[in-house]
Every structure is written in structure tokens, then in C-alpha cells.
Chain A
């Protein structure tokens, strides 16, 4: 089982490395969108601090949608998915490995990038560690929810816009607890509660999500 996991993970990371622009574009998009807000609004410190957290989280969420369609599309279009499904490899493990690879190339860069961009919103430095921790807990959930959206739309010719409609509403609990944790940290208050809730969401998504993804992909291949 570990063999299958590593084989798929290794392959997907290699492919991501060879088509790195697909994953770099969403990150650039995130940087650009978030830097448009200070330009469009008055760049006062108080206002930036107030809207900063919300802008960062929504920006991260929207930018992650950009890399999402390719999650299963490539394997679907070139027949790899059929071959994987028909192979003796346990399909659930394959799905988990693909989601993990997606998290490595789209989630981890966000965990690093968002706190850096947060500096331009004058977020207090004490909040940055909490922001990174909240992202560490939120991005796996985001990857799983993205995978569900991508799997459900994989047999459609252009699933792009529908994925957003499917995934974004499901992300709202994550957004609420993520911004809440960041705000509490900025005000120097205890942040344990929203972080625990984010962790609970992550456990829920990671344990049950792959089943939904595998089922959706099977239906998509019929």
C-alpha cells in the first residue's frame, strides 16, 4: 500500500515539477490580487489591518481554484486514470496520494507565502505564526474539497466554473475559523478554539473525502 502511495506521489510531483507554471500561476495570482486591495482602498494602516485577514484568506481560496481543474483532468484525458483504476493498486490509496501531491505543490507554498504577504497588510508579527498554523490545518481540507469538486466535474468538457460553485460554499467553515484565529492572534487573545475546529475539519475531510473522490472518479469513468 505504501508502495502505491509513493509511486503515485513521486509521479505526480515529477509531473508538477515539469509543468511548474501550472502551480506557480495561482501563487502569482494570489500575490497580485491581494496587492490590488491596498491600491484600490485607502492605504491607511487601520483599514488594512481590519480587512487584511479577510483579503488574505479569500485570496488564497480563490487562487487555489486555479490549479484545481488539472488535478484529475490530465490523468482522465490521457487514459492513465482507466489504467490506474483497472490495476491491482487500491484506488483509495491512489486518490489519497494524488491529493497529497496536490497539497504539496499548492498547499505548502501558500503556507509560506501568505504570512509573507500578510506583512504588507501590517498584520502584527505575533499573528503570523498563528496564520501559518491555521493555513497548515486548513490547506489539507482545501485540497480534499478541491479534489471532490475536480472529481465530480472530470467527465465534463469544461468543469472550471462549476468547480468553483461546488467547492467555494464548502470552504466557508474553513474561512470562518481561519480568519477568526488570525484576528484573535492579532488582538493577542487565545487562538486554541478556532485552531482545534480547523484541525477537526481537516481530520473529517482527510478521512472521509477520499472515499467521495474515489466514488466520483469511478462514476466519471463510466
Chain B
């Protein structure tokens, strides 16, 4: 593996949860425009793997590097190139959709237009409502909307299609395709990989 690699490199990665080794010796590389689809039965370690790739948890063995730097030691500006969206949406129930998006926007030093984004996601009518009063699918949409508020090159998505209706799924799949077409990368754990067809995808089966 070259040191100059600009993307994500997992090298003989081991992932454990609660002291139990779930994944051992996993190696793969992601380059611009590539997506890795992570599939496997419940409990096989998809979420744990994504958390390790995001740098939230340390690997049990091996290493994860982004642009040749250990992912847990990234400088803030490289940190911003990686976005992780897990099972939790990362939004506050007592803030409105607009306030939540504004918060994420300033957290990521972005200037993306929020009203337009809410419109694309069909959230324009509820933008002024607190998240508490939204359905699970609408919250999911708002959570995924934050992807567009950063300039991340690598998306790490954990079951992004959960709770979404058909239009929502199509939109997410389209976003991922656009992201890959513009040189982005993605690692996606999903039980519906067929709905996330992406060109030149890497398949990781746990």
C-alpha cells in the first residue's frame, strides 16, 4: 500500500465490540468515485466497522488511514472531509428543522442554502417545526440533509434508507451517485444494496 494514497485505506483491520472480535484482517482501499457496500447479517459488525472507519472507535488491530494519516489523528481540516451518519440522526428534538440545519451548517463552516435543501427533501412545510413533532422518516430526511451542509469527500452511511419512503430512497441513491460522480467516496452499510447501485462499487460482505 502506497503512503501517498489520497483516499481511505483499511489495512488488516480488526474490529471488536464488547471485547468480542467481529471482523479480522479486513483490507480494502477506496479511491475517488468508489463506493464500498457493506452487507452482512445483523450483529456482523457493520456499524462497528463504520464507527472505526470514522475514527469514533479505535480498531482492535490494523489501521485505517485517510490521505495517509491515521484516521483518529486527523487535523480538523481533513476531519471535515469525512462525514459519518449513523443510526442516530444527530439532531435536537427541541430545535426546529431549520435551526438544526443551521447549527450543522455553522458547525461545518458551510454556506449551503438551507431553505432550498429543505425544499429538495420535502421538508419546506415543516421547516419551522420542532423535530419532536416530525415522523421518523422526516427526521431521517433532515439527518441526511446535513450531508449536503459539509464538503465531505467520504460519506460513511449506516443504513441510510431506514424509515425512508420510496421517493426518499430514490433521492438518497441519487445523492450518492452524484457524490461519486463528482469524485466523492462512500462506504455504506445497508440491507438493501440493490437500491443503492453505484458504478464500480466495492462489495464487502461480513
In-complex Cβ contact of B86 among A3, A15, A82 (8 A): A82
B115 within 8 A of partner (CB): no
Q: Nearest B residue to A3 by beta-carbon distance? A: B106
B185 within 8 A of partner (CB): no
Interface residues of A in 73-115 (CB under 8 A from B): 74, 77-80, 82-90
Q: Nearest B residue to A15 by beta-carbon distance? A: B94
In-complex Cβ contact of B106 among A7, A77, A83, A222 (8 A): A7
Give 1 or 0 for each of B82-100: 1 = CB within 8 Å of chain A CB: 1110111111111100010
Do the beta carbons of B109 and A78 come within 8 Å of each other? no
A157 within 8 A of partner (CB): no
Give 1 or 0 for each of B73-87: 1 = CB within 8 Å of chain A CB: 000110110111011
| Chain A residues with CB under 8 A of B179 | none
6 A-B pairs with least C-beta separation: A79-B88, A83-B90, A79-B90, A88-B80, A88-B76, A18-B94
| Chain A residues with CB under 8 A of B56 | 82, 85-86, 221-222
| Chain A residues with CB under 8 A of B196 | none
Docked Cα-Cα span, A14 to B84, in Å, equals: 26
B residues touching A (Cβ–Cβ < 8 Å)?
54-58, 76-77, 79-80, 82-84, 86-95, 99, 103-104, 106-109, 130, 146, 150
Q: Which of A4, A18, A19, A80 has the most CB of B within 10 A?
A: A80
Docked Cα-Cα span, A211 to B77, in Å, equals: 21
| Chain A residues with CB under 8 A of B76 | 88-90
Give 1 or 0 for each of A61-79: 1 = CB within 8 Å of chain B CB: 0000000000000100111
Docked Cα-Cα span, A61 to B161, in Å, equals: 47
Do the beta carbons of B106 and A86 come within 8 Å of each other? no
Docked Cα-Cα span, A115 to B102, in Å, equals: 40
Q: List 30 A-B contacts (CB under 8 A).
A: A3-B109, A7-B107, A15-B94, A15-B95, A18-B130, A74-B92, A77-B88, A78-B91, A78-B92, A79-B87, A79-B90, A80-B90, A80-B92, A82-B56, A82-B84, A83-B84, A83-B104, A84-B107, A86-B54, A86-B55, A87-B79, A87-B107, A88-B76, A88-B77, A88-B79, A88-B108, A88-B109, A89-B76, A90-B76, A221-B56
Docked Cα-Cα span, A221 to B54, in Å, equals: 12
| Chain A residues with CB under 8 A of B109 | 3, 88
| A11 touching B84 in the complex, CB below 8 Å, given contacts A88-B76, A90-B76, A221-B56 | no
Docked Cα-Cα span, A85 to B71, in Å, equals: 13
Docked Cα-Cα span, A77 to B91, in Å, equals: 10
Q: Which of A4, A80, A86 has the most CB of B within 10 A?
A: A86
Shortest CB-to-CB span from A219 to chain B, Å, is 10
| Chain B residues with CB under 8 A of A82 | 56, 84, 86, 88, 90
Give 1 or 0 for each of A1-36: 1 = CB within 8 Å of chain B CB: 001100100010011001100000000000000000
Docked Cα-Cα span, A7 to B108, in Å, equals: 11
| Chain B residues with CB under 8 A of A7 | 103, 106-107
Do the beta carbons of B107 and A83 come within 8 Å of each other? yes
Shortest CB-to-CB span from A40 to chain B, Å, is 39
Q: Nearest B residue to A77 by beta-carbon distance? A: B88
Do the beta carbons of B88 and A86 come within 8 Å of each other? no
